[in-house]
A and B are shown apart, each in its own frame.
Chain A
Amino acid sequence: MSSAPTVPASGLAAGEGIALDHLVKSFDGPEGQIRAVTDLSVRIAAGETVALLGPNGAGKSTTIDMLLGLLDPDEGTVTVFGRRPQEAVEAGAVGAMLQTGELIRDLKVRELIAMMASLYESAMPVEEVLAITGATGFAEQRTQKLSGGQTQRVRFAVALVSDPELLVLDEPTAAMDVEGRHAFWMTIREFAARGRTVLFATHYLEEADDYADRAVLMSRGAIVADGPTNEIKAMVGSRTIRATLPAASLEELRALPGVSAAERRGDAVLLTCADSDAAIRALIAAHPQSRDIEIEAAGLEHAFLALTGDEGGAT
């Protein structure tokens, strides 16, 4: 990436950031209308890296489509750097890696990136984009002959080629291997460090925690929490302790420090913990006969249930 200071794309007020105001979007489903997004409002300051966190079907992709101008909201407004999304897109200020999408065939990777670069007035040099996204090694390959991980890198290159003010990524790491993921997030970090705005959707709490300044939690088309990632993590990051412990009473276990709930599953007990470190010390001190101890992150789905009180999963 060039080290030039951030210059807003022509005519755009980058300082104004992004505003989603009271967005509502419904789709026709087999059983009547499905409300994908219900009264959603978010503001993202320029230069922020924000994670849009939520289980499948929470409305993340619908929100992103409205942000990009691919979908018109039924109600509400979207403003990107002071303009309508379509205008920001026309100004070349927006790059995006959509959740689904293949590459067009019969072009070499380098040619595809050059083709996309030709659409912008001030695109990054093709070789630079290829280098940043780790695609130089297969730049001479035809797009239809790439592996899943390589395809993701090229899609990333397509999103970055305009050197956009706003980069939007919809579950970008879904098809990546571990190594690819790490390199990918390092690139995003460098990009964000240059004052660019990044919004990414994910259902991995760890990704939000590691790479975003702030997390917005969505469930069933609405925002259920919005704050710095460490706060969000504390809110949803509960763990469970599972141990074989036939004799102990649930009453006693519930009273242990750090434990918020206890259930019995045959000979085993399942403790939901706000502070699993304190809980495990107390458990072993009180019940040294505990066996087969496992500690697990509760997972986002579980955390959402706790947070929203939802019984069934979202659609």
Chain B
Amino acid sequence: MSRPAVLYTRYELLRTLRNRRFFFLSLGFPLVLYYLIAAPNRHLHDLQHTGIDAPLYFMVGLVSFGTMGAMLSSGVRIASERQAGWNRQLRITPLSTRTYFRTKVLTAYMMALISICVLYVAGATLGVSIGAGRWVEMTALILVGLIPFAALGILIGHLLTPDSIGPAMGGGIALLAILGGTWGPIAQHGALLQISQLVPSYWLVQAGHVGAGAGAWPAKGWAVIVVWTLVASRLAQRAYRRDTARV
């Protein structure tokens, strides 16, 4: 990345760290929920036949919840910059559209990483113990699983207003979290399982298997992430074009 892009990203990150909404949605809330759910079940092995201990399962579950929020919150920042007319101000600077979005995605990923670290520490306090290599592999898989959410953040940032984006994000994340199994798997087999396997949040939660010693996703998992990424990117591109044409 060029020096201007690095500097610009640094200020963007600073702005985000000063935003209280982030701390509530991506850090505080998942952390509190984690202790509420996982602490009472800390000695539970093989949670609902997943083959994963409860503290690890819920740790990854809440990571998926917090990081979805961190990634989609780039949409909040884009929507409020559009409403303030700041995107017009930026368009009369040499900042390219590509760098603008890269900055937004990079910032979202930094926020997601902070959320991941906080929950890992919380997991460790409840007895989650994994080898260093597995930590890294599991984290890498989660970061890959977040790619479609980077595109979704840009999409909703161009579709919604700052007023409507909060409720839409809250509802969307809650639904994806339930379907994905953040609060425990919703089905062992049948149609419901099939449906839940179609959302990317399911595969975020499944990254916990890596921590429990199993392999990465099956082909289906990779396919779901790739398709969501492609579709969301295409939609985000269209929303961006329509938005700049209108302005």
Interface residue? B1 (CB, 8 A) = no
> For the complex, what is the distance from the CA of A4 to the CA of B184, rounded to whole Å?
67
* Known interface pairs A71-B247, A98-B85, A111-B14; 14 further A-B residue pairs with C-beta atoms within 8 A, sorted by A's residue number: A89-B93, A90-B94, A100-B85, A101-B88, A103-B84, A103-B86, A104-B81, A104-B86, A105-B80, A107-B11, A118-B4, A118-B7, A118-B11, A119-B95
Interface residue? B15 (CB, 8 A) = yes
Collect the chain A residues with CB atoms within 8 Å of residue B84's CB.
101-104
Q: Is the Cβ of B88 less than 8 Å from the Cβ of A70?
A: yes
- Chain B, Cβ-Cβ closest to A91: B94
> For the complex, what is the distance from the CA of A68 to the CA of B18, rounded to whole Å?
32
Collect the chain B residues with CB atoms within 8 Å of residue A91's CB.
94
Q: Is the Cβ of B247 less than 8 Å from the Cβ of A119?
A: no
**Chain A: interface secondary structure?**
loop
A144: min CB distance to chain B, Å: 10
Q: Which of B62-99 contact A (CB under 8 A)?
A: 80-81, 84-86, 88-89, 91-95
B122: min CB distance to chain A, Å: 27
Q: Which of A86-128 contact B (CB under 8 A)?
A: 89-92, 94-96, 98, 100-107, 111-112, 114-116, 118-121
> For the complex, what is the distance from the CA of A101 to the CA of B207, rounded to whole Å?
43
Contact with B along A195-219 (1 / 0, CB 8 A): 0000000000000000000000000
Q: Is the Cβ of A102 less than 8 Å from the Cβ of B86?
A: yes
Q: Is the Cβ of B89 less than 8 Å from the Cβ of A115?
A: no
A124: min CB distance to chain B, Å: 14
- A residues within 8 Å of B by Cβ? 68-71, 89-92, 94-96, 98, 100-107, 111-112, 114-116, 118-121, 158, 162
Collect the chain A residues with CB atoms within 8 Å of residue B81's CB.
104
- Chain B, Cβ-Cβ closest to A116: B93
> For the complex, what is the distance from the CA of A111 to the CA of B17, rounded to whole Å?
14
Q: Which of B198-247 contact A (CB under 8 A)?
A: 247
A-B contact count (CB 8 A): 77
> For the complex, what is the distance from the CA of A92 to the CA of B8, rounded to whole Å?
16
With A98-B88, A102-B84, A118-B11 in contact, do A70 and B247 touch (Cβ < 8 Å)? yes
Collect the chain B residues with CB atoms within 8 Å of residue A100's CB.
85
> For the complex, what is the distance from the CA of A106 to the CA of B17, rounded to whole Å?
9
List the 5 closest A-B pairs by CB distance, nearest first: A101-B85, A118-B7, A102-B84, A115-B11, A106-B15
Collect the chain A residues with CB atoms within 8 Å of residue B12's CB.
115
> For the complex, what is the distance from the CA of A116 to the CA of B12, rounded to whole Å?
11
A208: min CB distance to chain B, Å: 23
- Chain B, Cβ-Cβ closest to A93: B94
Q: Is the Cβ of A111 less than 8 Å from the Cβ of B11?
A: yes
Q: Which of B10-30 contact A (CB under 8 A)?
A: 11-12, 14-16, 18-19
Most chain B CB within 10 A, of A68, A103, A105, is at: A105
Which of A70, A104, A121 lies in contact with B92, CB distance below 8 A?
A70
> For the complex, what is the distance from the CA of A116 to the CA of B4, rounded to whole Å?
9
Collect the chain A residues with CB atoms within 8 Å of residue B91's CB.
68-70, 89
Q: Is the Cβ of A106 less than 8 Å from the Cβ of B18?
A: yes
> For the complex, what is the distance from the CA of A111 to the CA of B84, rounded to whole Å?
18
Q: Is the Cβ of B15 less than 8 Å from the Cβ of A69?
A: no
Collect the chain B residues with CB atoms within 8 Å of residue A96's CB.
89, 92
A134: min CB distance to chain B, Å: 20
Collect the chain B residues with CB atoms within 8 Å of residue A69's CB.
91-92
Q: Is the Cβ of A101 less than 8 Å from the Cβ of B94?
A: no
A163: min CB distance to chain B, Å: 13
Q: Is the Cβ of A119 less than 8 Å from the Cβ of B11?
A: no
Query: Can you report 25 residue pairs joining A to B where beta carbons are below 8 Å apart?
Result: A69-B92, A70-B88, A70-B92, A71-B247, A89-B91, A92-B93, A92-B94, A101-B84, A101-B85, A102-B84, A102-B85, A102-B86, A104-B15, A104-B81, A104-B84, A106-B15, A106-B18, A106-B19, A114-B7, A114-B11, A118-B4, A119-B4, A119-B93, A120-B4, A120-B94
